[in-house]
Homo-oligomer: A and B are copies of this chain.
Amino acid sequence: VKDMIKSFKEIIERAREIGPKNLAVAVAQDSDVLNAVNNAYRMGIVNGILVGNEREIRSIAEENDIDLSNFEILDVEDKVEACNEAAKLVRDGKAEMLMKGFVDTSIILKAVLNKEHKLTGEGILSHVGVLKVEGFDKLFVMSDAAMNIAPTLEEKVFIVRNAVKVARALGIDNPKVAILSCVEKVNPKIQSTVDAAKLVEMNKNGEITGCIIGGPFALDNAVSIEAAKHKGINDPVAGNADVLITPNLESGNMLNKSMEYFARAEKAGIIMGAKAPIVLTSRASSEESKLNSIALAVLSAC
């Protein structure tokens, strides 16, 4: 039994214990991304395989004092081809994680979803965030804040499974999954409450395993034992959620950004659902957040 990880410091420590793992960087000619990969390399978390325009990679490395002798480089000028080559490294077992460099998200996802690369099965890709909010003695896993606009019930099943994989990678053996909505009673006018009840049923039927699902919940009933008590909710997940599943992209994105910008949560995020976790950090994320995301990918690649 692994210990439950409760902070980003512990995520980094665990990644160092089980790392380094091989990270393929698609279109690596990006100073932010190269610096993040170099940091992760120096912490013993990853070995990087840099796929991209070698000349530009070398020039950026020089400007940033990055010693490229520590990395493997595959010189591929075309961005689409570079993404395909990075995907093939995962397919062939040469890399266990993928990271987006200086390329549009849609292009790297196309390479991941290309059937020839055999990186995806029957599931779907979804974004899984991990956030540390002050005052809570745990990490929250949340999904989906960045990929699926209006997931169907079938898609929500995969969203739950992808999030549960990350929660289990954080050492939470039987994570408590809250299916969020705006109320705690099923209301046929609010589809997310109906879907929540069905997901709870599928969990009880053994169709979704490795977790305890509860819902529908408004956010307070999921994360505050006091609020759940006030509403008279008697459920093992109520007030104790490890995993927060949002009904749609608008609410997921809003919750994630609210935790980051209003509650000043430390955060990481990866795309799950393919053979390898995908790190898609944005230019706006801090160096710390990029390193957190790479470390989270290392744990989730297990």
- Interface on A for B, CB 8 Å cutoff? 133, 135, 149, 180-183, 189-190, 192, 218-220, 223-224, 226-227, 230-231, 246-255, 257-265, 282-284
Contact = CB atoms under 8 A, between A and B. Distances in A.
A180 B261 CA distance: 15
A258 B259 CA distance: 7
B220 A190 contact: no
A138 to B, nearest CB: 13
A253 B284 CA distance: 27
Contacts of A149: 182, 189-190
A189 B250 CA distance: 12
Contact of A255 (B189, B254, B283): B254
Contacts of A258: 219, 254-255, 258-259, 262-263
- Protomer copies: 2
Contacts of A218: 253-254, 257
B252 A255 contact: no
Given A260-B220, A263-B263, A181 B250 contact: yes
Given A220-B257, A230-B284, A190 B249 contact: yes
A249 B182 contact: yes
A260 B133 CA distance: 13
A135 B264 contact: yes
A250 B135 contact: no
Top 4 A-B pairs, shortest CB-CB distance:
A182-B253, A262-B263, A219-B257, A251-B251
Given A182-B249, A248-B250, A250-B248, A227 B190 contact: no
Give the most central of A189, A227, A263: most B CB within 10 Å: A263
A74 to B, nearest CB: 30
Contact of A262 (B182, B230, B259): B259
Contact of A261 (B220, B251, B264, B265): B220
A190 B248 CA distance: 11
Nearest to A246: B254
Contacts of A224: 261
A137 B178 CA distance: 33
Given A220-B260, A249-B190, A180 B254 contact: yes
Contacts of A283: 230
B182 A261 contact: no
B190 A261 contact: no
Contacts of A230: 282-284
